[in-house]
Amino acid sequence: MNNINPFEKEIKQTYRLPDANPAFFDRLEAKLQAYQHNPEAKTKHTFHFVRGWVYTAGTLIFLGALVFAIGPSKVLAQIQAVFGFVPNVGLVDTSSPFRQLAEPVSDTRDGVTLDIQSAFLSADGTIITYTMSDLPTEIKHTRFGEPECNLPAYLTLPDGSRIEAAGSSSGNMPDGSYANSIRFSDPVPANFNQATLVFPCLEGTVRGKGPEDWQFALTFKPAPENLAVYPATLIPSQAQIENPVLATVEPATQPRTETGIPVMPAMIVDGDRQEEMVVLSVVEKPDSYWVTWAFPDKSDDGIQRNGYLYEQPFNPVLYDANGTQLPEPNHETQLQLWQYEESLFNQLSGQDQLKYYPHTMYTIVVPKSGVAFPIYAKQNVYERSFPEKEAYVDVEFDGSKVQASDEPVEINQKIQLGSVKFELEAIEKNQFGGYSFLFDGTEGKVVQCQAGLVGYTTNMGGSSSFNPDDPFHFKQAEMYSQIPTGMLTVRVSQPAVLGDLISFIGSWSPEK
Amino acid sequence: MNETKALKKESLALMMNEAEGTHQTITADFTELYRRNATNVFYYLYSRVRNVADAEDLTSLTFVTALENLSGLRDPRKFTPWIFTIARNKAFDFFRKSQRHPTVDFDEYLDQAKAVGGELSQTDQDRLRDLDRLITRLSPFDQEYLRLRIVADLSFAEIASILSEPETRIKKKYYRLLERLQAQVEK
């Protein structure tokens, strides 16, 4: 049983778990025992992989196990480069031949065994996977807050140059080992078929306790010609916005209005207004397409905290041309989509990375059959604006009185910043050592503001989450290492005003 | 490592030695595995569907499915994450097929708590209500971290195995999530 702290116990209370009924469990046990002893009942056994096992194993054996035929050779309508989706690798530049590890390399040090399982080299980067096994307990990172090795591995080439890792990830294997992958965004030049992989320390282990400066000599060879590569189209949003001619070569045949917003069936549209969601990429798999939509995330950098211009309390939804809502992917597929999105993100231009990732990019599986095209994706968001960034109002209050009270102390101070009106209803102490300011923004449709004590430096602050059912009652909190008391002044500024409900919509259909 | 977990590990290791990958021994131990996991599977499913009858049905389905597919479990030590993976899929299927969504009636719960003598102060009621509201507004994935850790009582390694995410990432996400929730509820 996990040791849970008092706050976790409170969370557990919110689930209001009932008492388990022993009779039910006894009945089920008897049923299962009867089932075990009934051979007829087990004739349905089929070869069945454990899902988690498939995933973790997949990350390790992606080269060895990829024996699928090459997807249909297809000249893609590319705008920048030619991309392909390689399962378990991701979206890669296919403009030059792929290479892979000539043979796995293994070594054991300080009781830890590292197996360099695979490497995948393309024109736009290198991905190396390895397993880490037999980790002694003392170097496993088990306690939150314990110093952890966070130095990624790097590659050195025969000419002495060094390629730094751009990212890494790890996961558990069924046998208790760890499956890891490292991504290098700089390619290994084609004239080098050898490199040394260097681990300054083992990422994720306790800092200073595991092997250090561990080196592995790697040799590369051409990847097999029958490697599965699914056609992928990457569509930089810049091209879609600035160059309408280029936009016409998208695989997406998007019916558009004059404003570029796809015409959606009327029953789908529910926002106050519609804006366009663009298609960033399409992968064609044997039975489906993976279509990634995005709309630009926007924020106002002039706002002290949380200057985002969209509130997103809803999930994206997908409809076909008949207005039928398509089901969400299962968990297994969702994990694959996230992996894919990570690789897609790495291929986006820096501008698009800033614009979309991670909150406004959605990859959706579109079946090739049984769906009426075009399909429509919709993401509803609330717009926010900051009409008064400079104005502020100071409100005095008795901090000692607030700290001494178990209830919020009523203030009921009307506030007007420019044309924006709202009210500071009350102030209460919070457990972290500070003050929470309770606002009613109903009059001016205010959903957030900045509130801080004049003359004191806060060490932490925050605000209540957006509640679509009651958006105009919100809290702002400020915490202090030394709680100020006595007569205090709170400065209220930068109100966020709730605007329209915007439906970001996009449509797509397969290339004719 | 606490006693329960140590016992589980030792027993499963023993089982693995005996089993040597054969279906026979794993099946023989299924009852024991069932007894160890059934309550937590039930609580996990209850936290998803918020209804005892549905949670019991889904618990039954989960274990029957596990028994049917036991030959697919390559490593008996992974039984716990495996059974929860099945339970999660059963919950997904439940919502997909029924188009139902869990309902939350917090006032009813508070009334029940009072009725059985668990009198809560107004402050505690408000705090729990706030906390419940905050949790229901979390993303599905954040909610799942809480359910798997707090309700299903799984280790981070087991959660990592179920969600196919690195254990360290889950730990960090989980503790950051707790910090965030606590900060919000204290406000």
Q: pLDDT tens digits for chain A (512 residues)? A: 677 788 888 899 888 888 778 888 888 888 887 776 653 433 222 222 222 222 333 332 222 222 222 222 222 333 444 889 988 788 888 888 999 999 999 999 988 999 999 999 999 889 999 988 888 877 875 443 456 676 778 999 999 999 988 776 666 565 667 778 888 878 999 999 999 999 999 876 777 888 999 999 999 999 998 898 999 988 765 444 433 322 222 333 333 333 455 566 665 678 888 888 889 899 999 999 999 988 887 777 778 777 788 887 777 788 888 888 888 777 667 767 877 887 787 777 666 666 665 557 788 899 998 899 999 988 888 999 999 999 999 999 999 999 999 889 999 999 999 999 999 999 998 766 789 899 999 999 999 999 989 998 776 666 666 777 788 998 888 877 788 999 999 999 999 999 999 999 988 999 64
**HEC states along A200-215?**
CCCCCEECCCCCCCEE
Q: Which residues of B touch A24 (CB under 8 A)?
A: 42, 56, 59
Confidence check: pLDDT of B66 > 70: yes
- Chain-centroid distance of CA A509 in Å reads 26
Dist CA A439 CA A442 (whole Å):
9
CA of B88: which chain A residue's CA is closest? A331
Are A184 and A166 contacting, i.e. CB atoms less than 8 angstroms apart?
yes
Q: Which residues of A touch B150 (CB under 8 A)?
A: 2, 4, 8, 11-12, 15
**HEC states along B58-84?**
HHHHHHHHHHHCHHHCCCHHHHHHHHH
Per DSSP, the residues of A395-464 read EEEEHHHHHH-SSPEEEEEEEEETTEEEEEEEEEEETTTEEEEEEE-TTTTEEEEEEEETT---SEEEEP
How confident is the prediction for chain B on average, in pLDDT? 70
Are A376 and A471 contacting, i.e. CB atoms less than 8 angstroms apart?
no
Q: Is B30 exposed, middle or buried (0-12, 13-18, 19+ CB in 10 A)?
A: buried
CA of A15: which chain B residue's CA is closest? B47
Q: Which residue has the tokens 């997949």?
A: A58
- Beta-carbon separation of A32 and B31 below 8 A: yes
Dist CA A379 CA A274 (whole Å):
10
Cβ partners under 8 Å of residue A454, min gap 6: A394, A488, A489, A490, A491
Q: What confidence score (pLDDT) does residue A176 get?
A: 65
CA dihedral of residues A195, A196, A200, A205 (deg, nearest 10): 90
- Beta-carbon separation of A462 and B123 below 8 A: no
- ∠A236-A239-A245 over CA atoms, to 5°? 135
Q: Which two tokens stand for residue A321?
A: 């041309």
Dist CA A99 CA A96 (whole Å):
9
Does the pTM surpass 0.90? The reply is no
Nearest to B67 by CA among A36, A431, A407: A36
Task: Nearest by CB to A32, from B30, B77, B154: name it.
Answer: B30
- Beta-carbon separation of B71 and A48 below 8 A: yes
- Chain-centroid distance of CA B19 in Å reads 27
- Beta-carbon separation of A28 and B67 below 8 A: no
Count, residues in chain B: 187
Are A168 and A175 contacting, i.e. CB atoms less than 8 angstroms apart?
no
- Beta-carbon separation of B183 and A477 below 8 A: yes
- Beta-carbon separation of B42 and A31 below 8 A: no
In Å, how far is A333's CA from the nearest CA of chain B?
12
- Exposure pattern of A379-395 as b/e (b: 16+ CB <10 Å)? bbbbbbebebbebbeeb
Are A489 and A454 contacting, i.e. CB atoms less than 8 angstroms apart?
yes
Confidence check: pLDDT of B18 > 60: no
Average pLDDT over residues B24-32: 60
Cβ partners under 8 Å of residue A476, min gap 6: A436, A437, A439, A448, A449, A450, A451, A461, A462, A463, A464, B187
Asked which of A378-382, B84-88, B108-112 is least confident by mean pLDDT, the reply is B108-112
| Sign of torsion over alpha carbons A245, A271, B131, B164 | negative
- Beta-carbon separation of B85 and A204 below 8 A: no
Dist CA A431 CA A128 (whole Å):
47
Q: What confidence score (pLDDT) does residue B28 get?
A: 47
Number of helical (H) and strand (E) elements in chain B, helices listed first: 10, 0
Cβ partners under 8 Å of residue B187, min gap 6: A430, A436, A462, A463, A464, A475, A476, A477
Dist CA A232 CA A250 (whole Å):
12
Task: Nearest by CB to A24, from B31, B56, B123: name it.
Answer: B56
Asked which of A263-267, B66-70, B99-103 is least confident by mean pLDDT, the reply is B99-103
- Beta-carbon separation of B59 and A28 below 8 A: yes
Q: Which residue has the higher pLDDT, B32 or B17?
A: B32
Q: Is B154 helix (H, G, I), strand (E, B) or coil?
A: coil
Q: What confidence score (pLDDT) does residue A178 get?
A: 77
Q: How many CB atoms lie within 10 A of CB A215?
A: 11
Q: What confidence score (pLDDT) does residue A331 get?
A: 64
Q: List C-alpha distances in Å: B124 to A260, A404, B66, B130, B180.
A: 52, 18, 40, 10, 19
- Beta-carbon separation of A174 and B135 below 8 A: no
Q: What confidence score (pLDDT) does residue B13 get?
A: 28
Nearest to A423 by CA among A405, A410, A432: A410
Q: Which two tokens stand for residue A148?
A: 């952890």
- Exposure pattern of A253-262 as b/e (b: 16+ CB <10 Å)? ebeeeeeebb
CA of A150: which chain B residue's CA is closest? B168
Q: Which residue has the tokens 């051979």?
A: A39
Dist CA A56 CA A409 (whole Å):
54
Query: Percentage helix, strand, coil, to 5, in chain A?
Result: 15, 40, 45
Are B74 and B16 contacting, i.e. CB atoms less than 8 angstroms apart?
no
CA of A1: which chain B residue's CA is closest? B153
